[in-house]
Structures are given as structure tokens and as C-alpha cells.
């Protein structure tokens, strides 16, 4: 069971065009994206410690969720998720860390599916093999089935990453070192790629294609998230 979870919520979310942090975007059920994230994490992993990395209009998030821990990426307008995750991992304790992008709307059953990997301390990235979007982070695997490439420019991709990931306690120092070295404007996936290529980090792709997970970048994504959540409620 996850003991630490990080939500990356420092970005400005300009593509969605809201005047407030994207994780505060309201869904059709009246909850914000972040409210459903925190609620699902606490339900799936009772006692989990949640840390949110904030930046853009941080006070709005901190006032909405006063009962979680925070890290502040003061360079949110000059850096990307690699440096937000780096801050969070440096502040984490000596256990593994599950982390989410702050704009992902997902089926809570994903958290149950990955619990055995967390318990086994297996670093992983959740993937959707049913879709390969041009703007999404995509992946390939090596001969043993572990992730080899992970970026938006991957050729011959097997699927796309969905924004839910875990690094084991043993692998965390390697990832921290890689995140520290990558460019300020890199996504955290670049840190994983560097750690894989240079340090032999073994990252398992966990297929969650049958469960919904939508990163909300545009209005169409928000509509998909609401439709998927409504369908899931109807099935439950």
C-alpha cells in the first residue's frame, strides 16, 4: 500500500485557459480534479501522506486543501514537472512514492491494480495501450518488457503514459540524481529516461487500458473525463 503520494500541481495550465490552477477545475459531479484525486488516494490507501507541489496561484490550492503537505516550486513559470517532482522526492521520507500529474482524472480501481507493485517495491508507469496520442507521452520497451523510451517523440510507440507513477525507495536516489541533471523545462519522464539509459533503472509499464484515466489539457479532455466518470458511476 502506498505510504506517500505526490500530486504535481505547480503549472499554469495555459492550454485549458482557466484563470486558476488547473487542478481546481470543477468536474460534472461538483468536485475539483484535485478533490477527486485526494479523495481516491485516501480511500484506496488509508493513512497515505499526500504532498502537493504548488506554484501558480498556490494560495488557492492551499486554502482549498488545508490538510495535506505542500512543497513550493517557486520557479513554476520557468520549469516543468521534472523540477517539481525533484522537490517532492527530496522532501519525501525513505519509502517509495506514488505520484500523479495534477490534471489526471482516473478510475480509483487503478490504485488497487498497482498495489501489488507498490508492496513489491517495483517502480512503474501506468500506461494505456489502446491509445497513442500525438501530444501524449509515449513509450517503448526493451527485450525484458521494461520501459526503454518515454517521451512525446517516441517512434513506434506501444501506448501512452497516463500520469500515474511510482518509484521504489531503492530506486528513488537514482531518479533524484537524474531529475537534478535534466533541463529545467523537461518533463519528469525525461528524468526516468536518463535513469533507465545511464543507471539501468527498471521501470515496469502497467497496462490500465480497460480503466479510464484522462489528463485534462483541453476542453475536449474535460468532456471525456466527465463522460468516463459518469459511465463509471453508472456501472457501479
Average pLDDT of the segment spanning 14-38: 91
What does the DSSP assignment read for 83-98? HHHHHHHHHS-SS-EE
**Geometric angle at alpha carbon 152, from 191 and 123, rounded to 5°:** 40
Are 215 and 11 in contact by the 8 Å Cβ rule? The answer is: no
**In the predicted model, is pLDDT for residue 32 greater than 80?**
yes
CA distances from 71 to 36, 119, 156, 217 (A): 20, 26, 37, 23
Q: How far apart are CA 236 and CA 234, in angstroms?
A: 6
Confidence of residue 144 (pLDDT cuts 50, 70, 90): very high
From the DSSP assignment, how many helices (H) and strands (E) are in the chain? 8, 11
Q: Taking the CA of residue 21 as centre, how many other CA atoms within 13 Å lie in the half-sphere pointing to its CB?
A: 29
- pLDDT one-digit tens code per residue, 181-230: 999 999 999 999 999 999 999 999 999 999 999 999 889 999 999 998 77
Q: How far apart are CA 130 and CA 207, in angstroms?
A: 9
pLDDT of residue 47: 96
pTM of the model: 0.95
Q: Which of 105, 233, 112 is nearest to 162 (CA)?
A: 105
Pairs from 177-186 (Cβ < 8 Å, separation ≥ 24): 179/82, 179/83, 179/85, 179/86, 179/89, 180/86, 182/82, 183/82, 184/75, 184/78, 184/79, 184/80, 184/82, 184/83, 185/78, 185/79, 185/80, 186/80, 186/82
Q: How far apart are CA 10 and CA 172, in angstroms?
A: 21
**In the predicted model, is pLDDT for residue 78 greater than 60?**
yes
Q: How far apart are CA 175 and CA 160, in angstroms?
A: 20
Q: Which three cell numbers stand for residue 226?
A: 466527465
Amino acid at each position: 500500500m502506498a505510504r506517500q503520494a505526490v500530486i504535481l500541481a505547480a503549472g499554469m495550465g495555459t492550454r485549458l485557459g482557466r484563470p486558476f490552477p488547473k487542478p481546481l477545475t470543477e468536474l460534472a459531479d461538483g468536485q475539483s480534479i484535485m478533490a477527486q484525486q485526494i479523495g481516491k488516494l485516501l480511500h484506496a490507501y488509508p493513512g497515505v501522506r499526500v504532498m502537493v507541489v504548488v506554484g501558480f496561484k498556490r494560495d488557492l490550492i492551499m486554502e482549498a486543501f488545508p490538510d495535506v503537505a505542500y512543497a513550493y516550486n517557486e520557479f513554476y513559470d520557468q520549469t516543468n514537472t521534472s523540477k517539481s517532482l525533484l522537490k517532492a522526492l527530496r522532501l519525501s521520507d525513505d519509502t517509495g512514492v506514488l505520484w500523479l500529474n495534477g490534471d489526471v482524472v482516473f478510475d480509483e480501481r487503478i490504485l488497487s491494480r498497482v498495489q501489488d507493485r507498490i508492496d513489491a517495491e517495483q517502480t512503474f508507469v501506468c500506461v494505456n495501450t489502446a491509445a497513442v496520442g500525438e501530444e501524449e507521452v509515449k513509450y517503448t520497451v526493451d527485450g525484458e518488457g521494461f520501459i526503454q523510451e518515454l517521451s512525446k517523440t517516441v517512434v513506434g510507440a506501444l501506448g501512452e503514459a497516463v500520469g500515474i507513477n511510482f518509484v521504489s525507495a531503492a530506486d528513488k536516489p537514482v531518479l533524484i540524481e537524474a531529475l537534478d541533471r535534466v533541463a529545467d523545462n523537461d518533463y519528469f519522464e525525461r528524468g526516468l529516461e536518463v535513469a533507465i539509459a545511464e543507471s539501468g533503472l527498471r521501470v515496469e509499464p502497467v497496462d490500465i487500458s480497460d480503466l479510464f484515466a484522462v489528463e485534462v489539457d483541453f476542453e475536449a479532455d474535460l468532456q471525456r473525463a466527465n463522460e468516463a466518470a459518469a459511465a463509471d458511476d453508472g456501472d457501479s
